[in-house]
Amino acid sequence: MSDIHESIERYEDWLRAQLGDEIVEKDLVRKRAKMAKDALVFLRATYWRWAETILTVCPDLADMPPVLAIGDTHLENFGTWRDAEGRLVWGANDFDDAAVMPWSLDLVRLAASALLAGGDSAEDICDALWEGYVAGLAKPHPLILEREHRWLRREIMLPEKERADWWRKLAPGGKARRAGAAAPGRFHAALAAALPVEVDPLPVFARTAGTGSLGRPRYTAQIAWLGGPVVREVKAILPPAWAAFGPGSDATILAGTIAHAATRAVDPHYRVEDGLVLRRLSPNSRKIEVKDAGAVLMSAEMLRLMGREIATCHAGDIERVAAVRADAAQRDSGWLRGHARAAAKAVKHDYKAFA
């Protein structure tokens, strides 16, 4: 494997070539600072490195059947949204690096992230993920929080003070706003088309958020409509790292395909078109982060739900899921444990060399 510093330079050069003048160089500086914090953040920030190295670390995974997969799975890549029926849904909510790859990789990366976050037992983590995944393959369906999983709904719904803080960050001068030039025309036009009413002039501001996507331009529009605020966000999306840095050959952007699979309760405001991802922002559309609720994220109950959600996403690939089911039926959670440990060890090695 190449040196991590060489790999970072190669990735940033690729990013500049893809984005041209739209790249946010200051956010690349922020990204490197984040990467030095701990191994979990490093994992989140370096999916291209995962794509580049995982089949060297775990070569036998290459022989498992392919499926349209999430790619950049980790503990903090799950959140909530409202579907077309207004129901609160929980599940995977970042598909920027979706690609066709061995089905096992989503589970290995998620298990490795739990180990990097401080999980003590690979057996407990992998057993819970595998139990959920097997159940999800057998009966794939989205997780609707309207009547069931009250404990998860309690964890997700923000109390009033935190809701006020959420809106304060988006206000003028708030932490979520990034100083910079006006949004390029394609970003501005996409935001205008996504709002429920035409506003002229449309208030648009640059935003810094995320970890792996830092460096890519991201813009937000916030308006008042029918007595309350409405927020939309747009960011650039690029060809998946699995094709750009890994062994994949298809550079097609498939985020919209997996997000809108028939097995999922789709967020009607999530759209992928013309190299952009559009979504609604709301205090009810959020992720649970390790720093806020690490014990919840690494509980057996939550890990089972994460495993189930990965299977539900995989099951949306109708043409390939039968081969996945057949392969998974021959296994138990034992296969996952060793691969998760090996992957986490490789990430730690890169993190230490970088930090």
Residue pLDDT, tens place only, 98-120? 999 999 999 999 999 999 998 77
Amino acid in position 21? D
Calpha distance 55→61 (Å, rounded): 7
Torsion, CA 344, CA 62, CA 236, CA 12, rounded to 10: 60
Query: What is the pLDDT at residue 1?
Result: 66
CA distance 108 to 340: 5
- Indicate if the pLDDT at residue 310 is higher than 90: yes
Q: Cα-Cα-Cα-Cα dihedral of 91, 94, 97, 100, to 10°?
A: 20
Per-residue pLDDT of 194-242, as tens digits, reads 999 999 999 899 998 889 999 999 999 999 999 999 999 999 999 999 9
Radius of gyration (Cα) for the chain, nearest Å? Answer: 20
Gap between the Cα atoms of 234 and 188, Å rounded: 9
Res. 355: pLDDT tops 70? yes
Task: Specify whether the backbone of 50 is left (phi greater than 0), alpha (psi in -120 to 50) or beta.
Answer: alpha
Q: Are 212 and 72 in contact (CB under 8 A)?
A: yes
> Which letter does DSSP use for residue 332 in this model?
-
H-helix segments, the chain: 4-19, 25-35, 39-45, 47-57, 104-116, 122-138, 150-156, 160-170, 185-194, 241-244, 255-259, 290-297, 300-315, 321-328, 334-354
Residue 1: CB atoms within 10 A of its CB come to 13
Residue 294: predicted pLDDT:
66
Residue with more model confidence, 54 or 148: 54
Q: What is the pLDDT of residues 177-190, one digit of tens each?
A: 877 778 889 999 99
What pLDDT is recorded for position 162? 82
User: So what's the pLDDT on residue 182?
Assistant: 81
Q: Is the dihedral of CA 71, 40, 63, 7 positive or negative?
A: positive
Q: Is the pLDDT of residue 90 over 80?
A: yes
Half-sphere exposure of 38 (CA within 13 A, CB side): 10
Let me know: does 62 contact 103? Beta carbons within 8 Å: no
> For residue 335, is pLDDT > 80?
yes
- Please give the pLDDT value at position 158: 77
Q: How many residues does the chain have?
A: 355
121-144 residues labelled b (16+ CB within 10 A) or e (exposed): ebebbbbbbbbbbbebbeebebbb
What is the Cα–Cα distance from 129 to 119, expressed in whole angstroms?
13
d(CA 321, CA 101): 12
**Spatial contact of 82 and 89, defined as CB atoms under 8 Å apart:** yes
User: How confident is the model over 24-69, as pLDDT tens digits?
Assistant: 999 999 999 999 999 999 999 999 999 999 999 999 999 999 999 9
Residue spans per domain, the chain: 4-160+241-268+286-354
pTM for the predicted model, two decimal places: 0.94
With a cut of 70, say whether residue 271 has pLDDT above it: yes
Q: Which residue has the tokens 């959920």?
A: 132
Assess whether pLDDT exceeds 80 at residue 351: yes
pLDDT (0 to 100) of residue 172:
81
Give the residue, 139 or 163, on which the prediction is more confident.
139
Nearest-angstrom CA–CA distance, 342 and 203: 48
Give the model confidence (pLDDT) of 281-308 as tens digits. 988 777 777 777 668 888 999 999 999 9
Other Cβ atoms closer than 10 A to 12:
17
